[in-house]
Structures are given as C-alpha cells and as structure tokens.
Chains A and B, each alone.
Chain A
C-alpha cells in the first residue's frame, strides 16, 4: 500500500504547517444548518466536537452519534430536506446512500474549501468525489507477549502459526481458550469470512456481474480455517462482538485475538484492565493464511458525506465545519484515538497494528452495491457450519441461495 505508506512517512513534515493553518483560521460560516449523523466511538466524537466549534453566530448545529446509524441513515437522508446534512460513513455504509443517490458530489466544495485535504483522502467514485476519508481501520492480531514467552513461542504471522501458538498455550496449561475473534452470528461472523476469503485471494462475484461465486475451494478453505482457529476460542464464540472480545482481552483471559484497530487505544489505556495485561499487549499485523502474502483482513476508511437533499448553503456550511473537524490540529489532543489519514499524523503504539496491516497490502473492503446483501447472507447462513452441524459446501451453497434470492428481490440479478 504505497499511498498509505507515503501518507504516514510525509506526515511529520506537514504537521507544523497544519497546526499553523488551524490557529489563524476561523471557520468563516455565518449561517446555515449543520446536523451530523455518525457512528459512536471516541475518534468520531472528537471530530464532531471539533466541527461544533464552528457553530457560532447564526449557525444551527446538532449531531446524533449512534451505533444504530446504519439503520436510520437511508430513511433520514431520503427526506427532503434531509434530517441530517452530513453522514459519517465507512466504505460499507456509504453504499446504501450511494445506491439511493442520497449524497451529493463534493468536487465544487473540495475545490473551494478543501485546500488542506490530501488527494488520498478523497473517495472518488465514477470520477466524482463522494466522501472525504479521515481515518483508517482494520482487524488485526493482538498478542500478549508475556504469555507467548511463557509458552516459548514467537509472535505468529500466519493463521497456521496462530493455531500452533494457541495449541501450545493450552497444552502448557497457561490458559483455556486463549484465542478469540469477533464471531457473533450476523455482521461480525460475515466480516471474518470476508477477511479470510480475501486473505486466500478469493473473488466474491463473477467479474462485472452481481452473480455470487464463493462456493469453491477458496471458500471451503476459508471456512475450515475459521473453524480450526475457533476451536481454541470459548464455546460461546458465536455471541462474541467487539465489546465482548474487548472485555475478555482486558480481563486477561486471552493471549491471541483478532480485533478492530480502533479498539487499540481503549485496550492500551489504563482503564478497565491491569498493568500486567496492558504492558504486555502488542498490536501486530493481521496474520496471512494458506501461504498467501496478503493479510487475511480488510481495510476500512471512515469519512464524511454530504446529503443531496439539502440547500447549497447548508451543504457548504456543513462541509466547512467538517473540514475544520478533521483539521490536523485535531491530532494534538486525539492522536492515539485512531489511525488518522490526516496530514501530519504520527502513528502511536495503538496504531501499529493497522499501519503494518495496511503496509502489507491488505485489500480494502469491496465497495460493490450488492456486497451488503452478500454480507447479510453470510452472517445468517454460516452459523450451522461453525457449530459443526453442516458441511462447508452446504453452508456456502446456502449463502449463495440466500444471496441470490435477495439480490433478485433488490433488482441486481434478473
């Protein structure tokens, strides 16, 4: 990922310039309505709080940060005028908005107010800028160095080594069930399959069509790896979401876990865990699988979009406020809350995992209009295989059938 590396490398140079720009620059908005819809985690809270400092004079500012943002965004932006003037999205949640044409191209606003944005931050679809990205995220491996040392093993770099390491830890009697990943049935389990399948070099669809093609050798291999590695997870693993695995890690019950990079700062801080756990936790790249050299993970960005169904005045005010929200000065106080894609960013220990995962050439999450349908089908149909009551072939055949049914209903397949 050369672009990513360049961004990180040149960051130090740009740091001072960015800070100067922020200080001498008011937001310069006199009026307008700004209402931001976003997911709820610390990095986004920091961005929205900073955007709010623009709300002076006649500017009307409000925001809604909720983990349920995905389920309200389409309805809220379909209204005319839209309830929210901006939605902060990721590379999967932008798709429903794109599919319905609910967000506006930003080229004019970028030309006028986006001098401070780096070109790699601009999400360009079909030649038009549709979103401005400001942070990156990926799932990667978290390890406990003290436990690995006790069992006499190196930090694993492949899933095969993860299995060996987990087996060694169990055998040495150090821990029961030393491994965990986000495998809750539904979105989380589907994401683990997507990661594994892409790590094995798989393609989800027949090129150029919406016809799914996962019932193949690669799909079976991906499922088998998921099943083998989760043999070393707690039997409740089909209920593990990000909150559950994070809590298990902080309680010191895990030695190896695949979790989101954005959890890093929460895990490494001095709250909710012991010194023993935090000082020995290291964030490393996502493991590769099956001899591949691309980590079995997907890269995600978070960025902002502007509603289509609002006045140009509101769109401009919102854009200026959000550009101010992701100003490099943001990182003075919030450097470790995320892997920022903003100029001047210097990765701390909490960002190490995402940064190395990105540098190793991990694939971005596929931005296809019908990917969400496949993701939902995967989430619903893989549980039986993971419980051992169904064969991998049958599970994949079920996913394909479920996907094809919904894709037909949504008009992607005739």
Chain B
C-alpha cells in the first residue's frame, strides 16, 4: 500500500486517538504538576438555626484574584507525586529507618494509602489474570466437546457473568455473601462458625474479590479461546491420535501452541483490565480491606471538600506508568515473534 493511501486510510482513527486519548493524557499530566491556590482565610461569624458561632471562611475576592492571576493553579512540580498520598518518599525513608527488618518495613509501607492500594491492585492482577486464562481454556475445551444440541444454550449461560453490568453483579454477590444471604449463611453452616463474615476479614474480602474477578472475566477468555478452537486443524489432531497421543497430550502439543497468539492477546487485555480494578471494590463495600489505584482516583474526585484534581491526576499518571511497565514483557515478546516470522 502506498504511504499516502495508508495515511488517508488511518487518518480518521488517528485523529480520534489523538483527540480522545493522547490529548486528555497530556492534559492530566500537566494538571498533576499543579495544586490549588492558597486559600485566603478570614474569621467571621456564622449564624443559623442552632445559634451563632465564630468561624473561618474563605475570602472569596482575594482568592478569586489569585485564581485569575494563575488559572492553572500553583506550580508544584513533582511535589504531588512525592507526597504522602502518592509515592510518599519522605514517609517511606522514615519507615525504612525506623523498621527492624523487611517484614516490619512492609507493614509500615502498607499504612500508606498508595502502597496499600498498589499491593491489592498487583495481587489482584497477578492472581486473577492466570486463573482467567486457565478457567477460560478449560471451559472452552469442555464446551467444544459438547454435542451440538446443547452447545448454543451452554455458551449463552457461560457468557452471562460478562453480560451482567459489573456493579450490579458485585452488588448481587455482596448481598448473597452477607451473613443472612444464601452464600454467607451456607458457609457459616458448613464451617460451623456463626461469626464467619466474608466482609469483615481482610483475607476473606481479598479472596471474595479475586473469585469475583475470575467469575466476571472467565467468559471473555472462554469465548476467545472457543473461537480459536474452531480453527485447530482436524488433520493434525487426527494424526496425533493415530500416533497414540492422549487427550491431554493433544491439548498440550497441538491445541495450545495453536492458541498461543490468543493467550497473549487475552493476557494483554486482562493485565490492563485487572490493573484498573474498581467496580467490585465499590460494589462489595470493600474499602476497609481493599483499595485499588482506580479507587484512590475516584475517592480524590469525590472528596467532601471538593475534587482534588491534582492528586487524582497524579494517581492517573502513575496508573498509566504501571500499566506500561506490566505490559512491557508481553509486548517485547510479541515484537520478537513478529520479527522472527518476518525473517
């Protein structure tokens, strides 16, 4: 394809990507370098139904003058990135100096909101991604072996967890795992512990969220693998069978290598999705035990005193960097495969 034609061909999507992806990211990166203006405070008297009290309010005119002078806010450089809500350099080095061993240091680190969220986000990504791949493949192989009659309905029901809106699904499960809900009450019966609560203990909350993540994303892996299975060469499979390969050996040596590009594709998508885990934390009211980077952004934007744009922007940039780091190995591998094929 001549370069000119190619450019004209991709111009619309390129323009949309610049407009809706690149520019917002640049704007966020700039925003993260600024913080709010100094608020000029004055002491006044406030009166209401419960009497008058001396109080502090913001001097609107003086603060507005500051805002008009510098509409973007005060330049703070990387100050927002290094403060306690984010990378917390000062607090981390203080924790390092004060701790007597790596376990103690990690404990102190988990007391900082960003690292606490990062710990859950990384664990979620590391545990849910492989489980989704394995479970998705198992379901795909199982469904592929079903007789034609029941295949259609089975596929439909298997896809349901992905079709249901994540927030609704997590709310429904949240009620089911309640001590009075069907799952919660059954677990109490099974374990014989009337105080067992999936919502109260941090470990059980993490496990619940992981299970939810796998349940929600497995259908996606399943449907991709299932489509891939339709293209596995029958001849190779038959040849393997004649050579005396068992079912497991056929899967291991014929099907899996054939599906490898799909495994990489699903891994990429899942790494990105899981690193941005958010809905289940809200749906399960799990904030006490598990927070994620996306949840911190959400929380900053909903601050009682008004949105903390600089702080939210800094966490967003850190999330983008995190996704980039996670994806690098997978992308490098794909690039090598691509080059090898060309040669």
Contact = CB atoms under 8 A, between A and B. Distances in A.
Contacts of A7: 49
Interface stretch (B97-105, B194-202, B207-215, B332-340): B194-202
A98 B37 CA distance: 16
Contacts of B246: none
Given A98-B58, A236-B179, A238-B200, A409 B308 contact: yes
A3 B35 contact: no
A367 B51 CA distance: 13
- Residue among B47, B53, B195 facing the most chain A CB atoms (10 A cut-off): B47
Chain A contact patch, size range = 35 or more
B111 interface: yes
Contacts of A408: 35, 83
Interface string B41-62: 1111111111111011110100
A408 B82 CA distance: 13
Nearest to A298: B50
Nearest to A394: B111
Given A185-B285, A239-B199, A383-B287, A100 B51 contact: no
Contacts of B146: none
B56 A380 contact: no
B273 interface: no
Contact of B305 (A184, A402, A410): A410
Interface in A400-414: 401-402, 404-406, 408-412, 414
A376 B308 CA distance: 11
Nearest to A407: B305
B50 A299 contact: yes
Contacts of B194: 176
Contacts of B41: 210, 369, 412
B302 interface: yes
Interface residues of B, number: 57
A188 to B, nearest CB: 10
B288 A236 contact: no
Contact of B37 (A126, A387, A411): A411
B238 interface: no
A380 B42 contact: no
B49 A124 contact: no
A121 B287 CA distance: 38
B197 A235 contact: yes
B326 to A, nearest CB: 26
Given A74-B306, A373-B305, A367 B111 contact: no
Interface in B23-75: 35-39, 41-53, 55-58, 60, 63-64, 74
A202 B142 CA distance: 64
A376 B36 contact: no
A174 interface: no
Given A101-B60, A185-B287, A4 B305 contact: no
B303 interface: yes
B48 A124 contact: yes
A368 interface: yes
Contacts of B199: 235-236, 238-239
B43 A208 contact: yes
Nearest to B184: A236
Contacts of B303: 372-373, 376, 406
Contacts of B91: 401
Contact of B39 (A99, A126, A364, A384): A99
A327 B288 CA distance: 43
A406 B307 CA distance: 11
A402 B85 contact: yes
Nearest to B196: A235
Contact of A364 (B50, B202, B307, B311): B50
A412 B302 contact: no
Given A95-B305, A387-B202, A126 B35 contact: no
A95 B41 CA distance: 13
Interface in A351-408: 358, 364, 366-373, 375-376, 380, 383-384, 386-387, 389-390, 394, 398, 401-402, 404-406, 408
A387 B308 contact: no
B310 interface: yes
Given A238-B199, A368-B56, A410-B36, 13 more contacts: A95-B305, A99-B58, A121-B49, A124-B46, A126-B44, A235-B179, A239-B288, A301-B50, A371-B305, A402-B85, A406-B311, A410-B305, A411-B39
Interface of A: 1-4, 7, 70-71, 74, 91-92, 95-96, 98-101, 120-127, 133, 136, 176, 184-187, 208, 210, 234-239, 241, 299, 301, 341, 358, 364, 366-373, 375-376, 380, 383-384, 386-387, 389-390, 394, 398, 401-402, 404-406, 408-412, 414
